[in-house]
Structure 1
Amino acid sequence: MSSDALLTVSGLCAGYDQTEVLWDVDLELRRGEVMALIGRNGVGKTTLLHAIMGTRPATGGMLRFDGHDVTALTPHMRARAGIGFVPQGRHIFPQLTVMENLETGLCALGGRGGGAGGGVPGYIFDLFPKLYDIRGRAGGFLSGGEQQQLAIGRALAGRPALLLLDEPTEGIQPSVVQQIEAALAHVRDELGMTILVVEQYLDFVWRFADRYSAMQNGRIIRQGAIAEESAAAVAHLVQI
Structure 2
Amino acid sequence: MLSVDNITAGYGAITVLREVSLQVKANEAVAVIGPNGAGKSTLVRAICGLNPVRGGEIRKDGRPIHGEPPHRRAARGIAVVLENRRLFGELTVRTNLDLAAGEGDRRAGSNRRFTLDSILALFPFMEARLDAHVELLSGGEQQMVAIGRALLLQPDLLILDEPSTGLAPKIVKSLTGVIARIREEGVSVLLVEQNAQLASEATDRAYVMKLGRVVDAIAPDRWRGIMADDGLKRAYLGA
Both proteins in one fold, TM over 0.5: yes
Q: Which amino acid aligns with 1:225?
A: A
Could you tell me whether the CA contact under 8 Å between 1:103 and 1:120 is conserved in 2? Answer: no
Superposition pairs of residues 61-210 of structure 1, within 5 angstroms: 61-106=56-101, 107-113=103-109, 120-188=115-183, 190-210=184-204
- Residue 229 (structure 2) pairs with residue 230 (structure 1): no
Give me the whole-angstrom Cα distance separating, in 2, the residues matched to 1:114 and 1:69.
Answer: 26
Change (3 A) 1:65 1:10: same
Change (3 A) 1:83 1:74: same
Q: Look up the match of 1:49.
A: 44
Could you tell me whether the CA contact under 8 Å between 1:214 and 1:223 is conserved in 2? Answer: yes
Change (3 A) 1:103 1:141: same
The offset of 1:113, in angstroms, is 3.2
Q: Give the TM-score, by structure 1 length.
A: 0.91
Could you tell me whether the CA contact under 8 Å between 1:103 and 1:119 is conserved in 2? Answer: no
Q: Secondary structure at the match of 1:207?
A: helix
Of 175-184 and 32-41, the range deviating more from structure 2: 175-184
The offset of 1:43, in angstroms, is 1.1
Give me the whole-angstrom Cα distance separating, in 1, the residues matched to 2:71 and 2:235.
Answer: 37
The percent identity for this pair of structures is 36
Of 23-32 and 225-234, the range deviating more from structure 2: 225-234
Q: Which amino acid aligns with 2:235?
A: H
Give me the whole-angstrom Cα distance separating, in 1, the residues matched to 2:212 and 2:226.
Answer: 24
Q: Look up the match of 1:11.
A: 6
Could you tell me whether the CA contact under 8 Å between 2:114 and 2:154 is conserved in 1? Answer: no
Could you tell me whether the CA contact under 8 Å between 1:82 and 1:108 is conserved in 2? Answer: no
Could you tell me whether the CA contact under 8 Å between 1:76 and 1:108 is conserved in 2? Answer: no
Q: Secondary structure at the match of 2:32?
A: strand
The offset of 1:213, in angstroms, is 0.2
RMSD between superposed Cα atoms in Å:
1.9
Runs of at least 4 residues off by over 3 Å:
108-116, 118-121
The offset of 1:48, in angstroms, is 0.3
Unmatched runs of 5 consecutive residues or more in structure 1 = 1-5
Change (3 A) 1:80 1:110: farther
Q: Look up the match of 2:238.
A: 239
- Residue 215 (structure 2) pairs with residue 218 (structure 1): no
Change (3 A) 1:114 1:69: farther
Give me the whole-angstrom Cα distance separating, in 1, the residues matched to 2:199 and 2:25.
Answer: 17
The offset of 1:114, in angstroms, is 5.6
Unmatched runs of 5 consecutive residues or more in structure 2 = none
Deviations 1:12-69 (A, max 9, x none): 1110011111111111111111111001101110000010000111111111101211
Q: Secondary structure at the match of 1:169?
A: coil
Give me the whole-angstrom Cα distance separating, in 2, the residues matched to 1:230 and 1:161.
Answer: 29
Q: Secondary structure at the match of 1:24?
A: strand
Could you tell me whether the CA contact under 8 Å between 2:34 and 2:40 is conserved in 1? Answer: yes
Which is helix-richer, 1 or 2?
Answer: 2
